[in-house]
Amino acid sequence: MHTQAQPVGGPLFTRSYLLLLGLAGIGIVLILWRFAVGLGAATALSDGYPLGLWIALDVVTGTALACGGYAVALVVYIFNKGHYHPLVRPAVLTSALGYTIAGASVAVDLGRPWNMWKIPTYFWNWNLNSSLLEVALCIMAYVFVLWIELSPAFLEKFAADGPARLQRLSKKILPFLNKSLIWIIALGMLLPTMHQSSLGSLMMLAGPKLHPLWLTGWLPLLFLLSCLAMGYAIVVFETVFSSTTFKRNPDMPMLVNLQKIAAWTGVVFVAVRLADLAVSGNLRYAGQLDFYGSMFWLENVLWILPMIMMLTTSKPTLGSLFRGAMVAALAGAFYRFDTYLVAFNPGPGWHYFPSVSEMFISFGLIAIELAAYIAIVKWFPILGGPAQPVAPVGNVSQPGGALAS
Amino acid sequence: MGTDRRGFFKGIAAAVTLTAVPTAALARQKQGVPSDAVGMLYDTTKCIGCKACVAACKVVNKMPPDTSGFGRGLYDSPDSLNQYTKNVIQLYKEGDEQSFVKKQCMHCVDPACVGACMLGALQKGKFGVVSYDVSKCVGCRYCETVCPFNVPKFEWAKAAPKIVKCELCKDRLAEGKEPACTEVCPRKAVIFGTYADMLDEAHRRLKNDTAKHYVPKVYGEHELGGTQVLYLSDIEFEKLGFRFKQEESVPHLQQTVTHGVYKGFVGPVALYALLGAVMFRNRGKSDEKES
């Protein structure tokens, strides 16, 4: 498999990069503090809301935003659109980083993380009814798979200009890796199909504590659809971002198609959701425009909006694609966040709003992810397309909300 | 885009089929009460709120006092189940209506916590008791998330926290004794026996209740798939904090769906084979543009 990907190069420690490192540093200090004092002092979590920001944001929403690798792999390898191949590496990099950070958040969130190694090894104790077990095992495996999928990028670099010994080793591994990568990539599509749908099954077990507009036997499918829409959206988002930040030349027709898939998936999502609620009779709760009803409709509007934006834009620009992708990613983020926190009601007397340290630990982990992304694309051949003058970009010069990747 | 869209809808259709077909085909059996099940019966009309059961529970489970309530450091005064308290007496008071209510693990027939627990740290074992083994616990708190009675509690104040919940004094049961709370109750407001005997006793009391002061049902006989702790009350159960009336157990929906999809692990293996086969066929035939 040949690539034209090249390192971006250039200085790493710009002012905004130092800001990222600062946030990362604060996060790491707070994580150490959290382990010293326990979860009670460091978080706003309670027996009513035992899962909070770290799970709902970093894991449940974060891994869906890290589904770019999964989404692009489906297009390239299953629907056989080889010319999308330049998008694979940046997408897989974002996925690898996103899932690694999600794993780190879980380790911070667990009460007894030193028992984590027992999850994959104590197989005779596995509770096969537990969707969480499935999610845990799949995510652990998927982190490995993603880094293996990405490893040719590192090996190519080492083979080209690494130290002599590393150079020889890389040249030996690369052909073998390229030959067997197909089975790894297939695994890289199976695992997210499994654990992203299981993230939905997981909240089915909240049963009556979950609002009936969210509780349905179709949660696995809705979670799968949402991660796909978010995956395609994030690839568009990220490609526009790196094309403006690192002066790459984006392939517009390709981006337009990916955004179309994201928009269509949003429409299908809402159709499945409304049809299911109509059949079960729970749609009546959507008629009550209380807090839950309003959140429900807000999600649905966000899901439909990318399609409306697309239909009302005669000639898509990088700016319009960027906005459309942001809305699609936001729709999925809202849906997932709501399913885990907003629509979850443990009963009277319980409240949750994340503590400042919870938030800064989340920000810190996201900062680590972004910092690693920037360093890796500058040093290793990830991004395709030689640096060329970029066409006018609408009104997006420095995309702001890029923290969501 | 034409082929893209067709492919896309094919993908959606495949995903829907993958989830839907097995779901419809395999409804999960309702879980029955274990044959060796023990039970507790608590009757709010007999309870005087002396909290002897709370004190006895703390002693046998070696639980520290909770002095954060009105005790201000002087008395053990838990107001709900918490990291220091596996059994509690609460007061419901609204106008002229007043009742005490005892809370502890309900020992569900089909417990959500057991379905949730990754390595089986929570298990339904001998006598149908839902017990906890810290060596298999990673502290994920998924059990707390799913319990419809909000029973499992987490030691938030500790750096090496455990889950805290009533295990029906399983060590005492093994010695042939009854749970501490039933043993000390001076009014026999909470009693212990086989599940069948407890259910019979509850129905006997309802039948003899000619004055009709009981709410005419045994809470826990059917609710949430049934619980081994049963309640009688003269005040509606919802007011006492029992939020849910549904008869379907919590794990029923989730396990019906996931058992369908993951039956024999055939689905995932087939999908892997399919993905691999499609990729293998696609090799060298891609529409990659030379640019």
- Residues of chain B in contact with residue A115, where contact means CB-CB under 8 angstroms, are 135-139
**In sequence order, what DSSP letters do the residues of A246-296 get, joined into one string?**
S-----HHHHHHHHHHHHHHHHHHHHHHHHHHHHHTTTHHHHS-SHHHHHH
How confident is the model over A111-137, as pLDDT tens digits?
999 999 999 999 999 999 999 999 999
Rounded to the nearest angstrom, the minimum Cα separation between A165 and chain B is 32
Q: Which residue of B has its CA nearest to A114?
A: B138
- pLDDT of A242 reads 84
Nearest-CA distance B150 → chain A (Å): 7
Give the pLDDT mean for A327-346.
96
Of A37, A207, A265, the CB nearest to B146: A207
User: How distant is the Cα of A166 from the closest Cα of chain B, in angstroms?
Assistant: 30
Q: How close B46 gets to chain A, by Cα (Å)?
A: 27
Residue A54: closest C-alpha in chain B: B140
Spatial separation of the C-alpha atoms in residues A114 and A119, rounded to whole Å? 11
Mean pLDDT for A162-171 is 88
Using a CB cutoff of 8 Å and minimum separation of 24, what contacts does A305-308 make?
Answer: A305/A266, A305/A331, A306/A233, A306/A259, A306/A262, A306/A263, A306/A266, A306/A331, A307/A263, A307/A264, A307/A266, A307/A267
Residue B13 has a pLDDT of: 59
* Residue B104: alpha-carbon gap to chain centroid: 11
Q: What is the residue-level pLDDT of chain B in tens, covering all 291 positions?
A: 444 555 655 665 565 555 554 444 456 888 999 999 999 999 999 999 999 999 999 999 999 988 887 767 788 889 899 999 999 999 999 999 999 999 999 999 999 999 999 999 999 999 999 999 999 999 999 999 999 999 999 999 999 999 999 999 999 999 999 999 999 999 999 999 999 999 999 999 999 988 889 999 999 999 999 999 999 999 999 999 999 999 999 999 999 998 888 877 888 888 988 888 888 888 776 655 433
Close Cβ partners of A53 (under 8 Å, ≥ 6 residues apart): A354, A358, A359, A362
Point out the residue among B1, B161, B251 whose CB comes nearest to the CB of A260: B1
Residues of B with Cβ-Cβ distance to A202 under 8 angstroms: 142
Are B276 and A45 in contact (CB < 8 Å)? no
Full DSSP string of A133-193: HHHHHHHHHHHHHHHHHHHHHHHHHHHHHS-HHHHHHHHHHHHHHHHHHHHHHHHHHHHHH
With contacts defined as CB-CB under 8 Å, which chain A residues touch B4? 79, 81, 257, 260-261
- Tens of pLDDT, residue by residue over A233-281, are 999 999 998 888 887 777 888 899 999 999 999 999 999 999 999 999 9
Tokens found for residue A12 = 């790493």
Round the CA-based radius of gyration of chain B to a whole number and report it: 25
| DSSP letter, residue B153 | E
A344 interaction partners in chain B (CB closer than 8 Å): 145
B166 near A CB under 8 A: no
How much is the ipTM here?
0.88
Cβ–Cβ gap A209/B148 under 8 Å:
yes
Average pLDDT value over all residues in chain A: 90
A209 Cα to chain B: minimum distance (Å): 7
Residues of chain A positioned with their CB less than 8 A from the CB of B119: 118-119, 122, 125-127, 133
Quote the distance between the C-alpha of residue B138 and its chain's center. 18
Residue of B nearest to A189 (CA): B275
Task: Tell me the two tokens of residue A362.
Answer: 């989340």
Cα–Cα distance, B4 to A80 (Å, whole number): 10
- CB contacts under 8 A, B 82-141 vs A, are 82-83, 112, 114-120, 135-141
Q: How far is residue B200's CA from residue A403's CA, in Å, rounded to a whole number? A: 61
Q: Which residues pair with A6 in a beta bridge?
A: A383
Which of A39, A47, A83 is facing B153, going by the closest CB pair?
A: A47
Chain A neighbors of B8, CB-CB under 8 A: 261, 264-265
Chain A residue with Cα closest to B152 = A47
CB pairs under 8 A between A and B: 225
- By C-alpha distance, which of B282, B10, B1 is closest to A254? B1
Chain A residues with beta carbon closer than 8 angstroms to that of B254: 131, 201, 204-205, 207
pLDDT single digits (tens) B180-210: 999 999 999 999 999 999 999 999 999 998 8
Give the span between the Cα atoms of B128 and B32, in whole angstroms: 11
Helices (H) and strands (E) in chain B, counts: 9, 9
B173 close to A (CB below 8 A): no
DSSP run (H or E) holding A367? helix A356-379
DSSP secondary structure letter of residue B178 = P
> Which string of DSSP letters, residue by residue, matches B192-251?
EEEHHHHHHHHHHHHHT-TT--S-SS-BTSSGGG-BSEEEE-SS-GGGGT------S-HH
Mean predicted confidence (pLDDT) in A276-305: 94
Q: What is the pTM of this model?
A: 0.90
Q: How many CA atoms lie within 13 A of B174 on its CB side?
A: 7
pLDDT in tens, B34-76: 999 999 999 999 999 999 999 999 999 999 988 887 767 788 8
Give the pairing of strands B38-43 and B229-232: parallel
CB contact under 8 A, B140 and A207: no
In this complex, is the C-beta atom of B23 within 8 Å of any C-beta atom belonging to chain A? yes
Instruction: Name the residue among B115, B148, B268 with its Cβ closest to that of A208.
Output: B148
Give the residue from chain A lying closest to B271, CA to CA: A190
